[in-house]
Amino acid sequence: MLTEFSGHAHTADHSHPAPQVPLRHDWALPEVRALYELPLLDLVYRAQTVHRAVWKDNKVQLCSLLSIKTGGCSEDCAYCPQAARYKTGVKAEKLMSVPQVLEAAKTARQAGATRFCMGAAWREIKDGPQFDSVLEMVRGVKSLGMEACCTLGMLTDSQAHRLKAAGLDAYNHNLDTSEAHYGDIISTRGYDDRLKTLQRVRDAGIGVCCGGIIGLGESIDDRCQMLVTLANQAHHPESVPVNALVPVEGTPLAQHARVETLDMVRTIAVARILMPASMVRLSAGRQQMNEEAQLLCMMAGANSVFFGEKLLTTGNPEFDQDMALFEKAGVKPLEPNVDKPNT
Ligand code: SAM
Ligand code: DTB
Ligand code: SF4
């Protein structure tokens, strides 16, 4: 059973009584930094203990990702191959049509995806025909029996409510890094803009998917502070994607060194300890990891991945490779509405 720190129990699973795991919202940076710096196997042990108290089985959510509107973005996010101002080889495309998107969603469903995430290279979504098409895409994905997720940039209150009415389950909008480091990475919008959109998503009753990227030149304190900001929200995000920077030629961060796998493991483990009931997603950067590294991330509490050969514009492990890994390791796909956290 999970409890808010006040001691209020959400619900109980009487068939599988589990130890109490408090959901805290008062994390302080020094204690989180101390967790991050534990001997690695102690940290993984702590994270796995929290994980198994909340998530009974060894299951991983399979999310499919589609770039429904690629490139040509007005923002200057230093990591992003889709920013129009960087010469990255990503061409600006129009919004895909509703039938094209639903065809891709069907294929993903047949391959075993239970969540379909649609990403658009926009600063914000404009009202009008494009927004109406996205609403139709959300309704279509829901009618295929999948969870629907979008990431479209900043939203207004009214847009968030219309997306909710169309059936949207989750909205991805990342903090990416700490507030202190944010200005070194993005200048065309502020941290506060991100927080405001996240609040609008929350207020509309849509699940929040919010995480970040490691390998942006941030300090360990920046990494820990980002996790503290996420965990100290009034509600933990339902999903927390942890991305390793995919350095792309033409972006200002192209020459950044590849993130050490063990830094990914530590970040995931701390995210799991701070946000026990959230899905922690091992996101970008999986193609650069061997099987053992990915399994170590799962030991550290990752219970969600993007699968399919492409993320938005960069590569991801081949479908067959992922299936072989899951088979060898005995990892099972997590079913929406069945495999809920023990809350
Ligand atoms: N334009 C919208 C926005 O920025 O919110 C949605 C799409 S944007 C590409 C979604 C997320 O992808 C970003 O917030 C960032 O965390 C992640 N991302 C983009 N480029 C990346 C890269 N090169 N490596 C790792 N993550 C990346
Ligand atoms: C997230 O946190 N990671 C995904 C998803 N949310 C939209 C995107 C990763 C993008 C990696 C770079 C690319 O493929 O363009
Ligand atoms: Fe645009 Fe999103 Fe890329 Fe930033 S991360 S440049 S907002 S697509």
Q: Tokens in use for 60? A: 């991983």
Give the residues surrounding ligand 2 with Cβ less than 6 Å away: 65, 81, 117, 119, 151, 172, 174, 211, 241, 243, 246, 283-284, 311-314
Tell me, using a 6 A CB cutoff, whether residue 79 lines ligand 1.
yes
| pLDDT-based confidence at residue 336 (cuts at 50, 70, 90) | low
Question: Catalytic: 224?
Answer: no
pLDDT at 21: 87
pLDDT at 13: 36
Q: Tokens in use for 309? A: 């050969």
Single-letter code of the amino acid located at 258: R
Smallest CA separation from ligand 3 atom 6, residue: 83
pLDDT at 334: 83
Distance 80 CA to ligand 1 centre (A): 6
* Closest ligand by atom to 194 CA: 1
Phi-psi region of 337 (alpha: psi -120 to 50; beta: other; left: phi over 0): left
pLDDT for residue 342 is more than 80? no
DSSP classification of residue 288: G
Distance 284 CA to ligand 2 centre (A): 6
Q: What percentage of the chain has pLDDT greater than the value 70?
A: 92
Tell me, using a 6 A CB cutoff, whether residue 212 lines ligand 3.
no
Q: What percentage of the chain has pLDDT greater than the value 90?
A: 85
pLDDT in tens, 77-88: 999 999 999 999
Please check whether residue 48 is in contact with residue 301, taking contact to mean a CB–CB distance below 8 angstroms. yes
pLDDT at 224: 98
Mean of the per-residue pLDDT values for the chain?
92
CA distance 324 to 177: 33
| pLDDT-based confidence at residue 6 (cuts at 50, 70, 90) | very low
pLDDT for residue 3 is more than 70? no
pLDDT in tens, 8-64: 333 333 334 445 788 999 999 999 999 999 999 999 999 999 999 999 777 999 999
Of 63, 115, 117, 162, the active-site residue reads 117
E strand map for 122-230: 147-151, 170-172, 207-209, 212-214
pLDDT at 83: 97
Report the residue among 65, 67, 73, 80 best suited for mutation to probe ligand 1: largest number of ligand atoms under 8 A from its CB: 80
Question: Catalytic: 117?
Answer: yes
Distance 81 CA to ligand 1 centre (A): 9
* Lowest-pLDDT choice from 178-187, 203-212, 227-236, 303-312: 303-312
Please indicate whether residue 275 or residue 5 has the higher confidence score (pLDDT). Answer: 275
> What's the mean pLDDT in 261-290?
96
Tell me, using a 6 A CB cutoff, whether residue 151 lines ligand 1.
yes
pLDDT in tens, 143-194: 999 999 999 999 999 999 999 999 999 999 999 999 999 999 999 999 999 9
Report the residue among 80, 90, 173, 175 best suited for mutation to probe ligand 3: largest number of ligand atoms under 8 A from its CB: 80
pLDDT for residue 1 is more than 60? no
Question: Catalytic: 210?
Answer: no
* Closest ligand by atom to 253 CA: 1
Q: 59-69 and 21-23: which strand pairing?
A: unpaired
Question: Catalytic: 297?
Answer: no
Question: Catalytic: 209?
Answer: yes
Taking the model in full, what pTM does it have?
A: 0.94
CA distance 237 to 41: 26
Distance 153 CA to ligand 1 centre (A): 10
pLDDT at 12: 32
Tell me, using a 6 A CB cutoff, whether residue 153 lines ligand 3.
yes
Distance 163 CA to ligand 1 centre (A): 20
User: Crossing angle of helices 319-329/291-299, nearest 10°?
Assistant: 60
Of 63, 77, 224, 297, the active-site residue reads 77
pLDDT at 221: 98
Tell me, using a 6 A CB cutoff, whether residue 286 lines ligand 1.
no
